[in-house]
A and B are shown apart, each in its own frame.
Chain A
Amino acid sequence: MIERLFPIIKRERRATVLAVIIILQALCAMFFLADVIIDLSEGGHLDDIHLVFEGVAALALICGVVYLMYELRDLLSRMEAMDVGIRAARGEMTTLIDVFFDQWQLTPSEREIAQFILKGISNEAIAQMRGTAPSTVRAQCTRIYQKAEVDGRAQLLSVFMEELFHAGEAVGKHI
């Protein structure tokens, strides 16, 4: 299990370091903020230069924490995009399709239909194979497109085509 975890931890080193810094810096920010509040409540005044510095330090730390949080989120989403690209380049398209379907939270029957759509089968043929009315299939397609946030058949395909096109780029950029 450790061996299996290790490469992942190594790959996520930057994100992990960032997360550690966020936690430590947030705790420091809390410390300074509490210190300023206690000083003020004990009769400290804002014209005291020491207190002003402490206040500015607390504010800077808080801004830093929030900024680093946005940075971390950005880094993680870039890592995920890269991961998708690499999997597409490796030809793991079926796994990738499954992952997308999971993220869109498709039901089992929607998954089947979405797979047929990706294979270029017409709605009528899908209805025939599944033994349902074409109108049912059309309604299910609409729901799939809604969940995937695309306009229709062509755009659904383009979601996966795009990953293939960008795959080489992503691999090249990050090595």
Chain B
Amino acid sequence: MPMNNTMNSGHSGARSLVVWDPLVRLIHWSLALSILLNGVVVDEDGNLHKWIGYVAVGLVGVRFVWGAVGTKYARFSVFPLNPVAALKHLTAILKGVDTVHLSHNPLGALMVYNIWATVIVIGLTGYMMGTIRFFGIEWVEKAHEIAFSWLLVSIALHVGGVIFDTWRSGVPLVRAMINGRKRIPKDRTVN
């Protein structure tokens, strides 16, 4: 009876799983590009700024529909907005637990929803600034600027989180967002 095999015979090094579908990746990088363009490159009083803003909100809109009908790991149901779970995840990190999440980890999920909401607020206030009713009203402009500052903070945290989690979990996350595959090191449990 072949029962003397080692228990780890199934672990043949790292394994890779398809996680992010092309639509998720395209939306991610297009949104990043539109934020970069509108925040840094394009003149903020120009027409182009407005159109890029509409595109950014549209991208988030498409992602919302895809979150409802999309592929397994793109759905809202696999990364629910759950601050309690995020807190638990944080304490697990501090304890040194190194499980791998196939979709967003609970902390990452919080950031994802935060960034989407912020983009929508920026888009909405930006649109309001161009309407007759709200034109020149100070709080709208203030809200637009504050939301953008918050977006910058969020992006810094997001990039920091990606770097930290790549180091912690051993899964190259940036590459996963490019080719869609998470490369999971051997002997890591998936959660």
Contact = CB atoms under 8 A, between A and B. Distances in A.
A102 B15 contact: yes
Interface residues of B, number: 39
A77 B65 CA distance: 18
Main secondary structure of the interface of B (DSSP, over half): mixed
Interface in B160-176: 175
Contacts of A102: 15, 17, 102, 184, 190
Nearest to A112: B7
Interface string B27-64: 10010000000000000000000000011001101100
A34 B21 CA distance: 29
B189 interface: yes
Given A16-B26, A20-B26, A22-B62, A125 B10 contact: no
Which of A4, A26, A66 has the most C-beta atoms of chain B within 10 angstroms of its own C-beta? Answer: A26
Interface residues of A, number: 46
A31 B50 CA distance: 13
Interface of A: 1, 4-5, 8-9, 12, 15-16, 18-20, 22-23, 26-27, 30-31, 65-66, 69-70, 72-73, 76-77, 80, 83, 94-95, 97-99, 101-103, 105, 107-108, 111-112, 115-116, 119, 121, 125, 129
7 contacts: A19-B21, A22-B23, A23-B59, A95-B15, A101-B10, A102-B102, A115-B10
